[in-house]
A = this chain, B = another copy of it.
């Protein structure tokens, strides 16, 4: 027997919709800025930001792929674009000849440095400004817990089997 799955109550629905709309608007605004100011997609920004953050400014492709929600081919595509623009370089790993080490270039660091202030401005203006200090603390704590829960229950493994429903 399947569990009874009553719909969400209005409070739960409200939180869900608010989350989706807020993140959607924020994402839209942030992507618009990154594109206009640095000709970067959000994914590309994320890749560069991770590299800038990483020790010595380099990471293996696999490490990058694990952090993002992307397929490997998609990552190769995006990294290829960054490579063409001279924002990163790729080199074989000395430890493991199969691996590729991605490194930020000075140009890549410069671009992030140039784009970051405007990025932060948008985030502050849209997300931070309307919140009180208490709101901020609460939001960070709650979403932090939710994130941990989501990481522990990855949606991908929640549906390991591609068993398609037969025509009902």
Contact = CB atoms under 8 A, between A and B. Distances in A.
Interface of A: 4-8, 11-12, 14-16, 18-29, 32-33, 36-37, 53, 69, 114, 116-117, 120-131, 135-140, 142-151, 153, 155-156, 158-159, 164-165, 168
Instruction: Determine how many copies of this chain the complex contains.
Output: 2
Contacts of A69: 24-25, 28
Nearest to A8: B120
B16 A144 contact: no
B126 A32 contact: no
A160 to B, nearest CB: 12
Contacts of A32: 155-156, 158-159
A110 B150 CA distance: 30
A15 B138 CA distance: 9
B131 A18 contact: no
A168 B118 CA distance: 15
A14 to B, nearest CB: 5
A152 B130 CA distance: 11
A32 B123 CA distance: 28
Contacts of A22: 19, 23, 143, 146-147, 150
A26 B124 CA distance: 23
Contacts of A145: 130-131, 135
A146 B131 contact: yes
26 contacts: A7-B116, A8-B124, A11-B136, A11-B137, A12-B136, A15-B127, A15-B139, A16-B127, A19-B22, A19-B139, A19-B143, A21-B147, A22-B23, A22-B150, A23-B23, A25-B147, A25-B155, A26-B150, A32-B156, A36-B159, A126-B146, A126-B149, A129-B149, A131-B142, A135-B145, A138-B142
